C-alpha cells in the first residue's frame, strides 16, 4: 500500500480568480475554462471491469482547468493544489512511465489523444480542484475529464462522451499504470444534477436515475477516513486478476454473465478465495439492479439494506475494506444512518452513509469520537449531492 502525504484540496476554481491567476502565470488570458467533477459510487464496486453494473454520481466538487493553446509543442502545467511548481513537457515526446506527480493525469490524456490519432499542440494549463486527493472520490479522473473535455473542444476532435471515457481509461491504464475500469470517468463526463448514473459497463449505456436524498429528508454523508490508497498498487490489480481467473474457470466472457443462482455450482469449481471474490461481484451486480429498482419504486429511503450488504460483501468476500472504513460504517449505522458502505476502489478512501437529516449531527459526532477513541487520524465528513458532469464554465 502506498501511503502518500495528503495535501489540501484547492478552492473550487472560481472562473474570475482562475483567469487572473492564469494571466499572472502565463502572461495571457486562457482560451476557456473547463470543469469536471469527482464522484461517489452509490453501489456497484469492482463490477465495472467485470462488464457489470454501477451506480455512481458526479459530486458537487470538481477539478477546474484554464487552458490556452500555444503555437509550439510545449506543455506547461501548474496547479493551485499543494505547493507544486511549474511542470514543463514536450507534447511530442510523451511516453508511459516517464511522468511522476499530478502532471501524469493531464499528460496521460494528451498521450491517449495522440494514440487515438488526434494531434495535440502545446498548451498552458492551470488546475484548481476541490476534490480531496486520495479520498477515493476520483480526484485524478476529475482532472483527466476536465482536460479531455477542454482538449476535445480546443482541438476540434469531436469525441463523444463514450469515446472520452474509453480514452481516459486508456490514459489511466497505460500512462498512469492503474488497471481501473470506466466507472469514474463515466460519472464525471456523463453525470447530471440530481441524478445517479446507472451504467451498463458492457455497452456503456446510461440511464440517469433520480437521486435527491434531501427531498426525502436524507443526506448522503461522505466520511473521508484519510487513509490514502493508490490503484496503481497491488491490491486492485490482484482483485482484478482473481475476477478474470474466476470468469475463465467458470467459462464466461466476464463475471457479468454469471448469475446469483449459479453460485452454488461455482463453489465446487473455484478455490475458496477466488470463489469469495466471484461471489462479491455476482451479488454486487444484483444489488445494483435492486438498488435502481428500489430507487424507482420507493426512493432512497429503501436502499439502506443494500448499501449495508454491499459493505459486508466488500469487507468479507472481496476483502478491500480496512479498519477505518469498517469503523466509519459501523458507527454511522449504529447512530442513525439507514445504510452505509465504503465507496470506490477500497484499501482506504471514503465511506458513504445515507442518513436522516435529524440524525446527521449525531452520526458526525459519533464517527469523530470513534476515530479519536481508536487512535485514528480525524476523518473529514461532508455531504454530497449529484451535480452536473464535465462542462465548459467560461
Q: Which residues bind ligand GLA (CB under 6 A)?
A: 41, 45-46, 48-49, 180-181, 183-184, 231, 344-345
Minimum separation from the CB atom of position 185 to ligand GLA (A): 8
Which residue's CB atom is positioned nearest to ligand GLA?
Answer: 345
**CB-wise, 290 or 362, nearer to ligand GLA?**
290
Catalytic residue among 124, 130, 184, 308: 184
**CB-wise, 122 or 181, nearer to ligand GLA?**
181
**CB-wise, 80 or 185, nearer to ligand GLA?**
185
What are the phi and psi torsion angles at 358 (to 5°)?
-70, -15
**CB-wise, 79 or 343, nearer to ligand GLA?**
343
Minimum separation from the CB atom of position 287 to ligand GLA (A): 13
Minimum separation from the CB atom of position 182 to ligand GLA (A): 6
Minimum separation from the CB atom of position 24 to ligand GLA (A): 34
Minimum separation from the CB atom of position 158 to ligand GLA (A): 25
**CB-wise, 324 or 360, nearer to ligand GLA?**
324
**CB-wise, 205 or 214, nearer to ligand GLA?**
205
308-to-194, 285, 351 alpha-carbon distances in Å: 23, 15, 11
Which residues is 392 bridged to in the sheet?
34
Q: What is the distance between the terminal CA atoms of the chain, rounded to a whole angstrom?
A: 39
Minimum separation from the CB atom of position 144 to ligand GLA (A): 11
To the query of whether residue 184 is one of the catalytic residues in this protein, the response is yes
CA 327 to chain centre: 22
Cite the active site residues.
Answer: 184
Amino acid at each position: 500500500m502506498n501511503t502518500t502525504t495528503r495535501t489540501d484540496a484547492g478552492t473550487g476554481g472560481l472562473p474570475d480568480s482562475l483567469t487572473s491567476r492564469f494571466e499572472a502565470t502565463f502572461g495571457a488570458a486562457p482560451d476557456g475554462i473547463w470543469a469536471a467533477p469527482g464522484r461517489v459510487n452509490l453501489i456497484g464496486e469492482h463490477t465495472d471491469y467485470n462488464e457489470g453494473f454501477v451506480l455512481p454520481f458526479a459530486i458537487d466538487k470538481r477539478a477546474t482547468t484554464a487552458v490556452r493553446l500555444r503555437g509550439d509543442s510545449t506543455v506547461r502545467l501548474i496547479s493551485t493544489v499543494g505547493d507544486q511548481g511549474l511542470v514543463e513537457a514536450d507534447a511530442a515526446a510523451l511516453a508511459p512511465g516517464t511522468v511522476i506527480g499530478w502532471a501524469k493525469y493531464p499528460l496521460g490524456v494528451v498521450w491517449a489523444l495522440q494514440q487515438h490519432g488526434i494531434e495535440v499542440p502545446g498548451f498552458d494549463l492551470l488546475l484548481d480542484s476541490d476534490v480531496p486527493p486520495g479520498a477515493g472520490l476520483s480526484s485524478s479522473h476529475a482532472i483527466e475529464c476536465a482536460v479531455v473535455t477542454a482538449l476535445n473542444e480546443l482541438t476540434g476532435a469531436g469525441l463523444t462522451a463514450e469515446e472520452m471515457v474509453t480514452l481516459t481509461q486508456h490514459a489511466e491504464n497505460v500512462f498512469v499504470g492503474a488497471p481501473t475500469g470506466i466507472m469514474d470517468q463515466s460519472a464525471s463526463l456523463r453525470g447530471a444534477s440530481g441524478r445517479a448514473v446507472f451504467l451498463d459497463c458492457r455497452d456503456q449505456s446510461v440511464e440517469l436515475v433520480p437521486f435527491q436524498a434531501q427531498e426525502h429528508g436524507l443526506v448522503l454523508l461522505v466520511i473521508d477516513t484519510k487513509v490514502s490508497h493508490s490503484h496503481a498498487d497491488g491490491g486492485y490489480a490482484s482483485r482484478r486478476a482473481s475476477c478474470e481467473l474466476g470468469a475463465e474457470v467458470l467459462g464466461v466472457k466476464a463475471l457479468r454473465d454469471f448469475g446469483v443462482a449459479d453460485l452454488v455450482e461455482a463453489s465446487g469449481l473455484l478455490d475458496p478465495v477466488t470463489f469469495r471474490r466471484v461471489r462479491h461481484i455476482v451479488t454486487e451486480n444484483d444489488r445494483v439492479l435492486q438498488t435502481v429498482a428500489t430507487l424507482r419504486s420507493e426512493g432512497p429511503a429503501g436502499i439502506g439494506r443494500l448499501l449495508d450488504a454491499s459493505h459486508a460483501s466488500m469487507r468479507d468476500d472481496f476483502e478491500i475494506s480496512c479498519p477505518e472504513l469498517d469503523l466509519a460504517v459501523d458507527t454511522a449505522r449504529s447512530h442513525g444512518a439507514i445504510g452505509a458502505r465504503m465507496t470506490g476502489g477500497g484499501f482506504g478512501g471514503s465511506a458513504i452513509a445515507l442518513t436522516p437529516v435529524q440524525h446527521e449531527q449525531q452520526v458526525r459526532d459519533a464517527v469523530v469520537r470513534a476515530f479519536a477513541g481508536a487512535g485514528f487520524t480525524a476523518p473529514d465528513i461532508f455531504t454530497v449531492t449529484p451535480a452536473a458532469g464535465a462542462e465548459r464554465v467560461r
